[in-house]
Homo-oligomer: A and B are copies of this chain.
């Protein structure tokens, strides 16, 4: 299982730097250099066009198209259509001609290529000197960024600096809806309208069958345009501009682009058009420089709350900042109709779908820095409640079943063995509500949308489970837990445990509501029609939940019969057989005790403080050797356990590539897009792992440790409005609220009130790596 780094980018604490261009790595770089602002995302492709390998990807959060050609002879409950985040307008479209040569870095001569993603400022710049056949040399510099606040705004600047000549250049700048969704080899856009005035070119595209529209419009500003003509084709509109360049002087052109998504199929095209044109004007009035300054401030504010510092490990320092940066770009809670795709907005893989790790693994990232974002993730699920209820019906169940993969709330996973057997999304939503409610006293949400989701999820779980005729215990039959290497098992421990917690929490919230907010309770009862009998029935299922725990060994059995399965020594599997899905016959994966990712350890991670160290140790030692980590999150979860169990070497080993999964292309598939949830995993790994933070008890607790190779590290969490800076070195641990607000926390099992001056504790024995 040795994963090997493919080191390409230069190490820097705040930047990702590419010096010289390697066409073999062009698509990996495109993924790494992706920009996004939750609303839209654009891969780091060369906007001037390049005949090198490229996935020219421009995406909008939640803009999808349907695929109807799936499971033609579907049985009931198996999806017969799916949807995917669709490649959209190339709003950076640029072409340039000089002396009859077209700029294409695959074909022209160039030198001093440098591309830089600036994590502090949120910009992507690229520069090189184009050496023309005529002997003329032109320095070209590109800048792009997305407005993190006014998220429909994208910016592009091109600077020209002739080294040894004076003359004119022709540049095409346009908007192109002719983009191909590469994995499906098809363009999915009809053009509703396109038009230009002298100043503004704009276009509205509409997806072929989902009928979602995107307005894109732009205005050019420049210090050197001498003429401008319309440039147009079927699905493209823009200008061809002629610019005069003077030797050793910088001539620039800015493209100010507003992209507006319209999901409401009833919206009027003229209204959309006019709104869009106004937006472009407003954006242009402000100009690129002012927007850039604003954006820097926004990023500064983000880093003030989110930054993690690692001293003595420059690579991980760069890596973790890249993770935080990309996570922020993917999602920051701007809009409750957005969620977090498994590849964010950086590629087509996984179809842009959100999975169950949103609530279990990404939510904590926001819970401690941006509670609004955390809440919006939960509101997203509420907005899809009706779809989840339809899905439950498709499965002959009651209540609400959240989909295993989705953008629009419909189940989009066309593999029935996952879509019909995995209930992590539903218990995950309940877990998310619980986790959120522990950190924010938001009864408005909890007694409203939260409670409604809880009762509908509990209903679903109640109807999907059943009682054993042998034990009379309640449990789930024919399911698949987070470990996807065991399918159609009975009483999977994760599923049963999470369902029990869901039942308990639902009942406790309803009880509180009845006591403290009878009006809301009555409203909810009227809306969803639950009865005391139903609640009693749920309590009965909860009380009789079959949790396969053995007192003597302290082991949870992953599912019925797991310990009797044939054993595989996972270390004996040759490296070249990974990934197993490609190299083993499908059924072979499912018939041993080998597991894909934590299952028992996963619920012990989520409800950490419910388990004694002894129980954690026993289960870690049982399951860790059986796990092959085919999920990128898996090593981080194991690292967190190892840190808690004071296995510091192991914790560091598992941490390994967590922060640099994509920077060093460990899985050799970064070209398809970034591993978004593993970005969150890297954060968890530092904060919950080395930081030893736990958020499932009464107060936030910490048991920090430090790996041998680090001098020190620090991280920040916002807890009860205090921005807590936690610094850990080999000798001491310090806690200080950056904003001066005091807060009660627990450190190494002792309670402390951290006041404005902070506290410093010595690093205890055993926690040093």
Q: Residues on A close to B: CB < 8 A? A: 75-78, 394-397, 416-417, 420-421, 466-471, 477-478, 487-490, 560-561, 563-567, 581-588, 590-593
Contacts and interface: CB of A to CB of B under 8 A. Distances in A.
Nearest to A561: B560
Contacts of A468: 564-566
Contact of A564 (B75, B490, B564, B588): B490
A561 B561 contact: yes
13 contacts: A78-B586, A395-B587, A420-B586, A421-B587, A469-B564, A469-B593, A470-B564, A471-B564, A477-B590, A477-B591, A478-B590, A488-B590, A490-B591
Given A477-B591, A591-B477, A592-B466, A490 B585 contact: no
Contacts of A566: 466-469, 477
**Residue picked from A77, A487, A566, most chain B C-beta under 10 Å:** A566
A82 to B, nearest CB: 12
Contacts of A590: 477-478, 488
A584 B76 contact: yes
A247 B562 CA distance: 84
A585 B463 CA distance: 13
A591 B396 contact: no
Contacts of A581: 75-76
Per assembly, the copies of the chain total 2
A477 B565 contact: yes
A27 to B, nearest CB: 21
B77 A587 contact: yes
Contacts of A587: 77, 395, 416, 420-421, 478
Given A396-B585, A469-B593, A560-B560, 7 more contacts: A76-B582, A76-B583, A76-B584, A76-B585, A395-B588, A477-B592, A490-B564
A581 to B, nearest CB: 6
Contacts of A421: 587
Contacts of A470: 563-564
Contacts of A78: 586
Contacts of A489: 488
B416 A586 contact: yes
Closest 10 CB pairs of A and B: A77-B585, A466-B566, A477-B591, A470-B564, A75-B586, A478-B591, A420-B587, A488-B488, A469-B567, A396-B585
Contacts of A584: 76, 396
Given A477-B591, A488-B590, A394 B467 contact: no
**Residue picked from A565, A586, A593, most chain B C-beta under 10 Å:** A586
Contacts of A563: 469-470
Contacts of A466: 566, 591-592
A175 to B, nearest CB: 33
Contacts of A478: 487, 587, 590-591
A588 B77 contact: yes
Contacts of A394: 585
Contacts of A469: 563-567, 593
B588 A490 contact: no
A644 to B, nearest CB: 28
**Residue picked from A76, A467, A584, most chain B C-beta under 10 Å:** A76
A585 B420 contact: yes
Contacts of A467: 566
Contacts of A487: 478, 488
Contacts of A586: 75-78, 416, 420
Contacts of A417: 417
Contact of A588 (B396, B560, B588): B396
**Residue picked from A420, A468, A470, A564, most chain B C-beta under 10 Å:** A564
Nearest to A568: B466
A566 B396 CA distance: 16
Nearest to A473: B564
A584 B75 CA distance: 9
A586 B471 CA distance: 26
A722 to B, nearest CB: 47
A715 B395 CA distance: 49
A280 to B, nearest CB: 41
Contacts of A76: 581-586
A736 B114 CA distance: 99
Nearest to A395: B585
Contacts of A416: 586-587
A622 to B, nearest CB: 12
A672 to B, nearest CB: 15
A439 B489 CA distance: 43
A307 B489 CA distance: 49
Contacts of A567: 469
A500 B76 CA distance: 37
A637 to B, nearest CB: 24
A561 B395 contact: no
A481 to B, nearest CB: 14
A400 to B, nearest CB: 15
A494 to B, nearest CB: 17
Contacts of A588: 77, 395-396
Nearest to A583: B76
A561 B557 CA distance: 14
Nearest to A564: B470
A103 B343 CA distance: 65
A142 B282 CA distance: 85
A395 B588 CA distance: 7
A583 B75 CA distance: 9
A592 B471 CA distance: 14
Nearest to A421: B587
Contacts of A490: 561, 564-565, 591
Contacts of A564: 468-471, 490, 560
Contacts of A582: 76
Contacts of A477: 565-566, 590-592
A490 B562 CA distance: 10
Contacts of A420: 585-587
**Residue picked from A394, A468, A471, A488, most chain B C-beta under 10 Å:** A488
Contacts of A395: 585, 587-588
A582 B76 CA distance: 7
Contacts of A396: 584-585, 588
A395 B584 CA distance: 8
A582 B588 CA distance: 30
A471 to B, nearest CB: 6
Contacts of A75: 581, 585-586
A664 B76 CA distance: 29
**Residue picked from A396, A560, A563, most chain B C-beta under 10 Å:** A396
A63 B595 CA distance: 44
A97 B305 CA distance: 90
